[in-house]
Amino acid sequence: MSLSIDNIFDKSEMDTVKAIDERRKQMENNNVDHPSHYNREGAKECIEEMEMIFGRRAVCTFCLLNAWKYRYRAADKNGLEDLKKSDWYLAKYEELGGDKYVDAWGGPVL
C-alpha cells in the first residue's frame, strides 16, 4: 500500500486540516489587505484617518515609501507576504491618484 495523505487521516481529520489551512490563508490575506491592528471597532481604518489628518498627497507618499520598504526587505524577512503588502501599497497609491504627484521627469513629488 502506498502512503498518501488519504491513508494517514480519516475524512473528519482531513476536514479539520483543510479548515485550519483555509483559516491560515484568510489570516495571511487579512494581514496584507486589512490587518486587525490597523482597524479599531467603530473607527475608520488607520490609512483612512491618515488621509483625513495629513492629506491625500502625504498618504500617497507614505504608500510609495511603504511599497519600497516591503520590496526591499522581502528576501530577508517575510518573503511573499511582504511582496503582497508592497503590491497593496502600490494599488492604494494608484487608487489615491498618486500618479498625479509626479515631477517633470516622471518621478514622484514627495
For 80, counting Cβ atoms within 10 Å of its Cβ (0-12 exposed, 13-18 middle, 19+ buried), the class is exposed
pLDDT at 100: 79
Could you give the CA distance from residue 18 to residue 11 in angstroms, rounded to a whole number? 10
Average pLDDT of each block of 10 consecutive residues along the chain (110 residues)? 57 68 59 67 85 93 93 91 92 89 67
Could you give the CA distance from residue 47 to residue 95 in angstroms, rounded to a whole number? 13
pTM, full prediction: 0.64
Per domain, the residue ranges of the chain are: 10-100
CA distances from 54 to 49, 51, 76, 95, 110 (A): 8, 5, 31, 17, 13
pLDDT at 99: 80
pLDDT at 19: 67
pLDDT at 68: 93
